[in-house]
Amino acid sequence: MIDTVYIGLGSNLEQPEQQIQQAVDALKLLPSTDFITVSSLYSSKPMGPQDQPDYINAVAAVNTELSAIELLDQLQQIESSFGRVRKDQRWGARVLDLDILLFGNQVINSERLTVPHYGMKVREFVIYPLAEIAEQLTLPDGTKIKQLQATTAENGLFVVGQLN
């Protein structure tokens, strides 16, 4: 079975735009997975401590035959290869963050993975790029991405560029 998956990408350390480009290149090499598209690059304020650089965010779409946990393992392997170290501090600065936002129309609540991503409905840096690449998308709970975008403030979010 093939599922369409949306993956959030974020970085605010070590040339974030390059980190996101290289992460997209890595997504294109995932096994049993076809890369579809990626949104523009968006600049956003950090969610957590404000004494860190602004983030660069994007959302990518892929079709995959991998299970959700297999994909999670692959994404965490990519993060590790970029030097990501998982810390207790949530929302701290990071070289690369890859989050499974949606996995087909599945709802997953396991110890390792929650899909749809638990915070996606309130994060402008997820909603706007997701709406850019999938404007007709409906979440598993019936919410339309365009409705979310219409009711979510931009909070200083702006497009900074495109990927190759």
The pTM (predicted TM-score) of the whole model is 0.94
Q: Determine which one of 3, 25, 34, 84 is catalytic.
A: 84
Q: Determine which one of 34, 94, 112, 123 is catalytic.
A: 94
Residue 97 bears catalytic tag: yes
Q: Containing domain of residue 123, as a range?
A: 3-161
Alpha-carbon distance 81 to 160, whole Å?
A: 25
**Cα torsion for 123, 65, 28, 19, to the nearest 10°?**
40
Q: Determine which one of 97, 112, 123, 141 is catalytic.
A: 97
34-92 pLDDT, tens digit each = 999 999 999 999 877 777 899 999 999 999 999 999 999 999 999 999 885 655 555 55
- Token output for 81: 């290869």
Residue 157's CATH number:
3.30.70.560
Alpha helix positions (H), the chain? 16-27, 68-81, 124-133, 145-150
Residue 94 bears catalytic tag: yes
Q: In this structure, which amino acid lies at residue 73?
A: D
* DSSP SS3 for 24: helix
Could you give the number of structural domains in the chain? 1
Residue 112 bears catalytic tag: no
